Structure 1
Amino acid sequence: MGTKGHRQVRYINSVSDGDQRHWPPKPYRASDEQRYLNMIGSAWAQQDGLAGPGAEFAINKLPAGYSLFEIDQPGGPQVYKRLFGHPSGTYFDSAQKFLPHFLWLMSNMAGDCSCILCKKAKHKSSVKRSQPPGVSKPSPGRQIIPRPNARKPRNALDPSLIISDSRKQQMDGDSNGSSRSHSLAGNRRPQRQIRASGAPYAVDAFGHEDVYKDLVRRLWGAKDSKQGIEDDILQPNTMDWRAGHEHDGHGRDVIERCITSIAHQHSFIPRVGELVLWIPHFMDRHFLMVDDETPHGEFKFYSPDQKCFHGHPDWRGGVVVEAPIASSLNRPIDFPDIQCLTESKRSLNTSGFRIETFPDPNNEVDKSASKQYRYVPMRNIRPLSQWHVLLRGIPEQKWHPSIRHALTCMTSISLMEKFWFSGKWPEAKISCKAMYLGSELITVGDVVRIKPDPSGATRFPQCTDVMIVDAIRLHLGDIRQEYIAPDHDQLASAYTLSLKGRAYTLDARRSFDKVESHAEFPPRPVAVAVDLDEIKAEFRPVGAADYGPWYRLHDPKKFYAITQDMVLGRLYESGAVQLWTGQLQRKQKPGAKIEPPSLNFDVHGITEGRRYATKHDLRLDEVSTDEIQWFWADDRAEALDLEMFNGVKVGRFADFRDKPTQEQWRRNVRIIDGHTVANDYSKYTQFTEIQLPGATRGRKPGSKVVNGKVLYPGHPDYGAAVAAGADDVPSTPRKHNSQLAGAALVSTDEESSSEDAEEYEDALEDHPTGDTVGASGILETSAPPPKPAQALPRTKQQIMGSVEDVIELDDDSSSDDQDWLEGPPPLIRGGTEESEGGDYRPD
């Protein structure tokens, strides 16, 4: 959201407590926020001492979750402007009232907020009740979602859920062929979504918050706005996202570091997740070179000692799962690593690439090929796009199956690091930092080769155009109102992937910059090549100028955009292409002209590989024409249909990809973020369903003993044991107690009198147990025992007489205690009652 005029824009921080769930429905509509941005920006600058004569300020946008709406005044042409998003659910009716809350947010929520809404909310909470448990102070960059309120009694009815007669008639009329999303369009107010307080607007199959559905909903809410919406894409409640990003001081930006390290490497270095051709066993003291004596230039092992070729390599298709870093090699990977085995102080499992043989993506059962892996140096690896050149001279019957498996995924697409959402109804864009296109990983900043136009003048068009990628975007087209429903499985009617950047060409005839040449008559326009210093500064691959003079393909004030089907792959360094194609495998003669590398060296392999994938990938629809079909996946694991990646199960094959585990992870994430998480017992109908921690002790019911071995139900030999009449496993016998331990459980004369014992025995005889076993072995139930007669209340004389008897007994016992204290100590012996000789021998 930009500002007008010559105002200085101040960017706000990411701290916010705004909640979009408090935005109003119709007839409210989105309003222009520019006046609010200017007023708040000027006040903020004045507080920080930045304001001066003639200096005007504005903020770039409102805090996340806050938005300005307007509604018509009744009986007048004016409108009311109100700022919604406060956690209390109330709105600010002016920028001056919102300013204290804004300054409190910009101070990282230090202390208490002094705005009018926070004071009211604090006073109301102090009168009614204290703050519920689990509502913690928000951290910078995190949006606060209040915890659900106390559960209502079952007999309490929510008045908002009562359906009126008119509403019931409308629902009955719309029930024939209308959905929840259709009812939103017909009503002035959207249908109420019944969900718990603080719950996300929409979730996926695993219960994760669907942030894209929520962004589309926000876009629909701002459809009357001229600016639309734009916001960061954050998924702090998803463990997959938290594993690769830093959030609130927790975690590490693994993906960002990976993309940054790729930007500092050569383009020819294989990247993690790419499909390649590799040689598991490279012949010692040999090089991979082109045999010029063969008709088509076959690649074979060459021995410089013997000066002869020794057959074709055993190529396989594989996926890169580990790539070395410069610190593990004590140096960065460079051009000599392409052809030679350079010296390294580290072993290959540290300095090499881990390549796993690629399994069949069409086989959902057998993925065991991934277990065949090796750590290999750079010289054992080539891009998959060169398959048609490297496999020359090798019969197709001898190709390893993994090569065809890898070619099957040449039309797979998966986006990586989606970070920005922007749009204006009914269009939107999702910006990404990288994407997997076929066999390669393309990041922002890479230089890609553009597919030649097949409608050109030449019969075999050549690749001459490249583009520096400045943006990778997924376009959502024709977003309809029914798509905002939480249960709808679509975000838009059409999806388009585009790459935007600056394009250059080697064809001077297609140059944008041309000048009039007066060397000839009549003067004619001549193409102007781009300066060499600009090529070195703009092009990431080293030696890009060796391809030839580059010309601008379009107006430098504009951008060039292409779709994914026009991208062939990365532009590699010129030296790497010359080594791959064999141009530099031998020394050039003095004075000989060196041919520049070609951009067209693997175009045939890329186009044929995509045709092969369209025909053989069972996940794609069958086509009768030469049209290329693309398989869209959410991630790289789904695009390649991998079960194992670096020895770990991934994707749909992972054991933890179940809803209960994901729910537990989300609870752990909330605990990390400082939220108190309580167990949700509302889903249980009875307490016996709750699984308590700890295993149940004892053997399973129905166990049998055969030759001293316990067989449980379900064992292969359990049926034979039952037929043979094996005995049930006896219950675990009680431990034998010694007489010394048993004596402690027996009542002594001091504890109970003989009269009490006799009364207890009489009670047992007069009142037998209710359940007895008869002669037939069937449990017989007798009549319930009669209730004992209640004792009559005693008189005062009886009570005082019993007290005197107790006093006399105490006097007699005290004399006995005195004799015991004054007498000689008893004789101590070392035995126990179980032994006679003084040794302890328990049974």
Structure 2
Amino acid sequence: MTSSEEKFRTIGRSGKWQVRNIEDASDGDQRHWPAKPYRPGSREHYLITLGKAWAEQDKLDKAAPDVNFYLNKLPDGYDMFETDQPGSRNVYKRLFGHPSGKFFDSAPRFQPHFLWLMSRMKGDCECVLCWKGKPKIAPIPRKKRLIPELSSFALGRRNMQDEASGSSSRSESLASRLGGIGNRPQRQIKAAGAPYAVDENGNEDVYKELIKRLYTSRDSKKGIEDDILEHNHMDWRATHEHQGLGAAVVENHLTSMELQHSFIPRIGELVLWIPQFLHQHSLMIDENSEYKFYSFDQKCFHGHPSWRAGVVAQVPSAKAQNGLIDFPDIQGLPEKKTTLNTSGFLIETFPDPNDEMDKSASKQSRYVALRDIRPLSHWRMLLRGIPRERWHPSIKNALTCMTSMSLLEKFWFSGQWPNAHIRCKGLFLGPELIIVGDAVRIRPEGPRNGTKSTCTDVLVVEQIRFNLVDIKEYFTYPDSEHLASSYTITLKGKGYTLDENRSYDAQLTDSSDLRIVPSQVPLYEVKTTFKAVGAADYGNWYYLHDPMKRYEISHDMVFGRLYEAGAVQLWTGQIQTKEAINAHLVPSLGFDVMGIETGRQFGTQSDQRLEQVPDGAICWYLGDHRADALDLEFFNGNKIGRYEAVRDKATQEQWRNHVKVLNGLPVTEDQFKYTSFAHFTIPGTRGRKPGSRVVDGRVIYPGQPGYDVAVATEHTATPRTPKPKGYSQLAAAAVVSADGEDTDEGDDEDEGEEDDKGTERFYTAEAEDSGSAEVPRVPLFKSKPKAPATKAQIMSGIEDMDLEDDFTSEEEYWPVARGGTEESDGGDYRPNVDTQ
């Protein structure tokens, strides 16, 4: 049935109607048309909707505002089909013919593809189905790539970098994470109260709902602003306080970092560390600018440390007993009241992010003091003089992730259609964690006036933004995997500079004759604005912009945190000798700039999750979280991220039901289907699991073959007569069975002693019904076999059994050392015992 043969219900009824003949360009394919139970459907709605959109694009609606445009037909290869909805009188109306084999379920979704066809297929189509067919820039199956050798990144003695061109890598930022739309179902039938959209794990996608609200209020001049609350997500509820329930774990952790020095490592950061620090030594710089162990007692250097790269898994917890970490901890070992497991840092060796099979390096961990740790950005300085064949493999692994990043604690959404931004409280940028309130060093823009640029500018971070740029309507659909056309990460705050020529006052005039003397930032403002102690020791600070406004930079313009001036002087040896102290050397903002930029270049070339880019360009990998950015399997002894086996579909659904109960929502009984996890192996635990049994030297867990037989055999077995305690011969004889099945000889054979060949035999405690087993004591003297006691002897010693009642299984019996006879209470003196 063609369009001319179809009888229209709307076209031609009221008003002026004008038909538009479509172009002959089409990519439709009839081979993708469906079979029964689909049947041909009406095309009228599509002809009107697409005709109106095409007229608006060509601005024909303004030339003829009273005319209603419609199409003469659909593009070749496309046609409408319909099928009945299950359990309803309504029908599904779908447009088939797309080369991907999928269908469009609405005219607005087909509209971008139709307009692209009418442009004779110029450029790339941005419809939902064409985006699904595009290959991802950063495919998950990792490609083989020749990892560059670090020989191209030679170690120099100078700490300052010769600046390259001033081109920015902002255009490449986040390029590796922009992928296509996933193959999700086109239409979902939701139950009452179901969320608008869910993620790949079935949890509520609050960000998709927020941009849907933004699209609904697209005509508003104010847009929308709202808190980001994931109160239906178990992970969020476990780390946040909501309506009086839960604990604010993340908030407390961020607050503790705000109150400590910038040079202190933070959880999740990549650092260099020394597993074995020589006793009574310090890390000093020799005459060749190499870092070595130095002994003040012997007054000589003792070689290079064995550096590794690792992840900070734990930070000191016993702050009340030991006090806060301060500058003396950088080079020394101040006295602590607790051991390193509460006063030190737990560092786990960093595995290869390109190797998905072997992550065992994370199990090589150790508690170390702060003096054993340095930032990863110092790698060029610290490894100077060490042959590359002696470098630990974890160092290259860590440099591979120098261009990885992830956001921490998204808490605020604000936007005005078609743009929006999400504010965060933290940003993992390469090896470091940057939080709101930190001062960060800004990368120079490039050579100025033929001179080398140096790092002179800083930014006190007030906001960390994840920007959603150019949001389309189809991004608001639940099955769309993206939120916007592109993403950027920016940091906003107050900018300051050490270069008076770059100050805001100096930029007010271009005439040298009327040059204004820049005004310095008051000292009180430096002390209150900069969190780093001793920021005034870097020099005189000037305003980089209008003090009443804010400065915004992209993430790739950030080098790292601004450390305390005293820490930089200790790290670089500026106060190592008396001569250096008397010289009053000023610390530099760019002492580790060369290591940062060289590491980012190496990471771009070696990280197989990124696309290959020209030499010198920087490309970034944006992970969903820190574990994804570093591709960690183990952290703090536990499996995390996509390697965590417990996060299956059934467990996630059970967690969501538990959260419903916490939120006060009604839950039916059939939604709780508990599963026993008694036999589930949790990484890091040791010993037998509850309920396990040992059969023929093999451990059997509940539910495994042979377990029921082992339990039944254990309960039906004849219990052994408990061994008598060696208080006296009469007491022992009183508990011996009348059948004489267990004798003293048999008991002696069970005692732990050496056999004739000198091999030691150990006692094995069998699990009994009582749940406890007592290891018998080895006798000091070997007694000769005695004849069985008579009935008179047994009856005369009944009162001696009260001794045994006076002792519990938890008490230890102490025999009398001397005195008494065989017949007296507690007597242990036996004349016929042969001493050996």
Q: 1:504 aligns with which of 496, 500, 513?
A: 496
1:608 to 598, 607, 619: 598
1:162 aligns with 2:90: yes
Match of 1:404 in 2: 396
Q: CA deviation at 1:624?
A: 2.4
CA distance in 2, matches of 1:214, 1:269: 39
Return the match for 2:578 from 565, 584, 587: 587
The letter for the 2-side match of 1:617 is D
Match of 2:262 in 1: 267
Q: Radius of gyration: which is bigger?
A: 1
**Percent of counterpart pairs with the same letter?**
56
Does the 8 Å CA contact 2:104/2:110 hold for their aligned counterparts? no
**Deviation for aligned residue 1:522:** 5.6
2:587 pairs with 1:597: yes
Letter in 2 for 1:528: S
Residues 1:405 and 1:183: Cα distance change in structure 2 (over 3 Å)? same
2:232 counterpart residue number: 237
Is 1:623 aligned to 2:618, yes or no?
no
**Equivalent position of 2:541 in the other structure:** 550
Counterpart of 1:628, as a letter, is I
Relative to structure 1, is the Cα distance of residues 483 and 178 closer, same or farther in structure 2, using a 3 angstrom cutoff? Answer: farther
Match of 1:491 among 479, 483, 495: 483
Matched, 1:653 2:643: yes
1:422 corresponds to 2:414: yes
Are positions 1:363 and 2:355 aligned together?
yes
Aligned residue type for 2:551: Y
**C-alpha distance in 2, partners of 1:709/1:514?**
80
Give the Cα separation in 2 of the matches to 1:694 and 1:569.
44
Contact 2:506–2:515, Cα closer than 8 Å, also in 1: no
**Structure 2 partner of 1:283:** 278
Deviates more, 1:321-330 or 1:601-610: 321-330
Partner of 2:104: 179
Aligned to 2:375: 383
Q: Which residue of 2 aligns with 1:52?
A: none
Displacement of 1:186: 6.3
How far apart are residue 240 of structure 1 and its match? Answer: 1.0
Q: Which residue of 2 is the match for residue 568 of structure 1?
A: 559
Structure 1 counterpart of 2:607, which letter? Answer: D
Normalising by structure 1, we get a TM-score of 0.60
The 2-side partners of 1:429 and 1:362 are apart by 32
Q: Distance in 2 between matches of 1:655 and 1:330?
A: 38
In 2, the alpha carbon distance for the partners of 1:710 and 1:343 equals: 47
Letter in structure 2 aligned against 1:209: E
Q: Contact 1:286–1:302 (CA<8 Å) still a contact in 2?
A: yes
Q: Write the letter of the residue equivalent to 1:636.
A: R
Distance 1:484 1:181, change over 3 A: farther
- After superposition, the C-alpha distances for 1:128-151 in whole angstroms (9 at most, x for unaligned) are xxxxxxxxxxxxxxxxxxxxxxxx
Matching residue's letter, 2:548: K
Secondary structure, in 3 states, of the residue corresponding to 2:517? strand
* Structure 1 segment 683-762 matched on structure 2, within 5 A: none
- Report the counterpart of residue 522 of structure 2 in structure 1: 531
CA distance in structure 2 between the partners assigned to 1:530 and 1:692 by the alignment: 63
Counterpart for residue 245 of structure 2: 250
Q: What is the identity, as a one-letter code, of the residue corresponding to 2:517?
A: V
Give the superposition deviation at 1:454. 2.0
- Structure 2 CA distance, aligned partners of 1:257 and 1:695? 33
- 1:524 Cα offset (Å): 3.3
Change (3 A) 1:209 1:709: closer
Equivalent position amino acid for 2:663 in 1: D
Aligned partner (choices 415, 418, 434) of residue 442 of structure 1:
434
Any idea what the Cα deviations from partners look like across 1:306-330, whole Å, max 9, x if unmatched? 1100000000001101111462553
Partner Cα separation in structure 2 for residue 156 and residue 609 of structure 1: 57
Query: Are the equivalent residues in 1 in contact too, given 2:197–2:205 (CA < 8 A)?
Result: yes
* Partner Cα separation in structure 1 for residue 543 and residue 552 of structure 2: 14
Which deviations, in whole Å up to 9, do the C-alpha atoms of 1:629-671 show, x marking residues without a partner? 1010011111111111111111111122211111111111222
1:659-670 correspondence runs (5 A) = 659-670=649-660
1:66-101 CA distance string (max 9 Å, x none): xxxxxxxxxxxxxxxxxxxxxxxxxxxxxxxxxxxx
Q: Letter of the 1:241 partner, please give it.
A: W
Which residue number in structure 2 is paired with residue 107 of structure 1?
none
Deviations for 1:390-421, whole angstroms, at most 9, x for unmatched residues?
A: 00000111000111111111111100000011
- Cross-structure match for 1:308: 300
Count of aligned residue pairs for this structure pair: 539
Letter in 2 for 1:645: F
* Alpha-carbon distance between aligned partners in 2 of 1:637 and 1:181, rounded to the nearest angstrom: 39
Match of 2:569 in 1: 578
Q: What CA deviation, in whole Å up to 9, does each residue of 1:198-249 have, x standing for no partner?
A: 0011111111001111111111111111111111111111111111100111
Residues 90-126 of structure 1: per-residue CA shift (max 9 Å, x gap): xxxxxxxxxxxxxxxxxxxxxxxxxxxxxxxxxxxxx
- Are the structure 2 counterparts of residues 289 and 206 from structure 1 closer, same or farther at C-alpha, using a change threshold of 3 Å? same
Aligned equivalents of 1:542, 1:710: Cα separation in 2 = 58
Does structure 1 retain, via aligned residues, the 8 Å contact 2:96–2:104? no
Structure 1: stretches of 5+ with no match in the other structure:
1-154, 683-689, 697-705, 718-728, 737-843
2:221 to 226, 241, 244: 226
Post-superposition Cα deviations, 1:240-276, rounded to whole Å, max 9, x if no partner, equal 1111100111111111111111111000000010000
Residue 173 of structure 1, CA deviation: 9.0
Distance 2:467 2:216 in 1: 19
Distance 2:97 2:646 in 1: 45
Partner of 1:373: 365
| Inter-CA distance 346–224: structure 2 relative to 1 (3 Å threshold) | same
Is the contact between residue 227 and residue 424 of structure 1 (CA under 8 Å) also seen in structure 2?
Answer: yes
Distance 2:242 2:628 in 1: 26
Work out the CA distance in 2 between the residues paired with 1:710 and 1:573.
56
Amino acid at match of 2:383: L
Give distance in 1, aligned partners of 2:638 and 2:698: 37
Q: 1:708 to 1:288 in 2, by over 3 A?
A: closer
SS in 2 for 1:583: coil
Distance (Å, rounded) in 2 between the aligned partners of 1:546 and 1:708: 69
The DSSP-based 3-state class of the residue aligned with 1:525 is: coil
Does 581-590 or 381-390 show the bigger shift?
A: 581-590
- CA separation in 2, counterparts of 1:643 and 1:515? 51
The answer (yes or no) to whether the contact 1:325–1:332 under 8 Å persists in 2 is no
What SS does structure 1 have at the residue aligned with 2:461? strand
Kindly tell me: are residues 588 and 479 of structure 1, through their superposed partners in 2, closer, same or farther at Cα, counting changes over 3 Å? same
Aligned letter for 1:421?
F
Distance 1:460 1:286, change over 3 A: same
Distance 1:359 1:172 in 2: 48
Q: Secondary structure at the match of 2:398?
A: helix
Q: 1:643 to 1:181 in 2, by over 3 A?
A: farther
Q: Tell me the C-alpha RMSD between the 2 structures.
A: 3.6
**Which consecutive residues of structure 2, in runs of 5 or more, have no partner in the other structure?**
1-83, 113-185, 680-694, 717-836
Deviation at 1:183, TM superposition (A): 4.0
Cα displacement (A) at 1:171: 4.7
- Going from structure 1 to structure 2, the CA distance change for 1:342 and 1:223 (only over 3 Å counts) comes to same
**Alpha-carbon distance in structure 2 between the residues aligned to 1:275 and 1:679:** 46
